[in-house]
Amino acid sequence: MKKVFAVLLAMLLLLSGAACAEKTGEMTLSAPNGAPAIAVAGLALENPEAFTFVDAETIAAEFANATHDFIIAPVNAGAKLFKAGKSTYRLAAVITWGNLVFASQKKDFSLESINGSALTLFGENTINASVARYVLEKKEIQPASTEYLAGAANTQQLLLSDPEAVVLTAEPAVTAAKIKNEAVTSIALNEVLGEITGVDGFTQAGLFVKEETLKADAAAVDAYLERIRQAADMAVNDLETLANASVELGILPNAKVAVSAIPNCGIRYVSAAEAKEWVAITAGMDLSQFGGEVPSDDFYYAGE
């Protein structure tokens, strides 16, 4: 009996060790909270320890530290760092295509309402602010003044506290604001961009892969990218599961916000090779955000 027990215990320890090895061998990924984190929530729920969700303001440090195999970050930020030789991360895919909105409590709020109004944007010197300014310029909209706050959560707070405020904010913050106050209405920048460029959105957040990880096992990278694609596709083909995963991981506050906000987060996985032309279009809106020029070919990872 003791011998049988010893054999069973040995087998249990062996299986446990194999499971631990498989878990520690998991690719790791860092992403800012919000739409980028939602895009991978379905996969992150399977092994939360392999995923790190951080404040958007700290994402540059993720490139500098280079501790994760993958990083989700603004495409322009990754391009600028790569061009400057400060990052070995290459763009593998574009994963979000714009979740920005102009919003206000003003009655009959429209894009023309911004003419002559005080406008509060978020993320000065970021691609989000650049796209907002680009849209206004192309539509010949001139605010009376422009101020900046740090992030979408900050402009959401202003939106809720000031009935006269006109702000740039983003999903999922604007959906949460609408649930709290029915007077809030919004204009999706992607709709206006479509009229201007003919492109559905802009290359907002990209999925970057570390060069060292590629060299170690490109086949494993490609397999992982497919898993990320499937996770992002849940925004369209399995919304309820993705919403629940986002709530369970603490990315979104509740299922009501999640189900309403996710379809407007611009989540769409497009490989770097396919997205190259759209990256160039986005860069053309403000080349300074991309280090002064369209990214070179070696910035893109096209797969093995």
151: left (phi over 0), alpha (psi -120 to 50) or beta: beta
Convert the pLDDT of each residue in 106-125 to its tens digit.
Answer: 999 999 999 999 999 999 99
Residue 103 has pLDDT above 90, yes or no: yes
Residue 56 has pLDDT above 90, yes or no: no
Task: Output the pLDDT for position 8.
Answer: 38
Convert the pLDDT of each residue in 127-152 to its tens digit.
Answer: 999 999 999 999 999 999 999 999 99
Residue 25 has pLDDT above 80, yes or no: no
- Averaged confidence pLDDT in the chain: 91
Residues 6+ apart with CB under 8 A from 102: 111, 114, 132, 166, 167, 168, 186, 187, 189
Task: Output the pLDDT for position 304.
Answer: 63
* pLDDT band at residue 24 under the 50/70/90 scheme: very low
Convert the pLDDT of each residue in 241-297 to its tens digit.
Answer: 999 999 999 999 999 999 999 999 999 999 999 999 999 999 999 999 999 999 999
Task: Output the pLDDT for position 198.
Answer: 87
* pLDDT band at residue 164 under the 50/70/90 scheme: very high
Residue 14 has pLDDT above 80, yes or no: no
At residue 230's C-alpha, the angle toward residues 266 and 189, to 5°, is 5
Task: Output the pLDDT for position 175.
Answer: 96
Across residues 186-194, what is the average pLDDT? 96
Taken in order of first residue, the domains within the chain and their CATH numbers are 27-97+203-299 (3.40.190.10), 100-197 (3.40.190.10)
At residue 123's C-alpha, the angle toward residues 249 and 62, to 5°, is 55
Task: Output the pLDDT for position 21.
Answer: 31
pTM for this one? Answer: 0.89
Q: Is 257 helix (H, G, I), strand (E, B) or coil?
A: helix
Residue 6 has pLDDT above 90, yes or no: no
Are 206 and 94 within 8 A, CB to CB?
yes
Percent of all residues in the chain with a pLDDT value above 90, rounded to a whole number: 87
Which amino acid, 138? K
Are 32 and 54 within 8 A, CB to CB?
yes
Are 264 and 236 within 8 A, CB to CB?
no
Task: Output the pLDDT for position 200.
Answer: 83
Across residues 184-208, what is the average pLDDT? 94
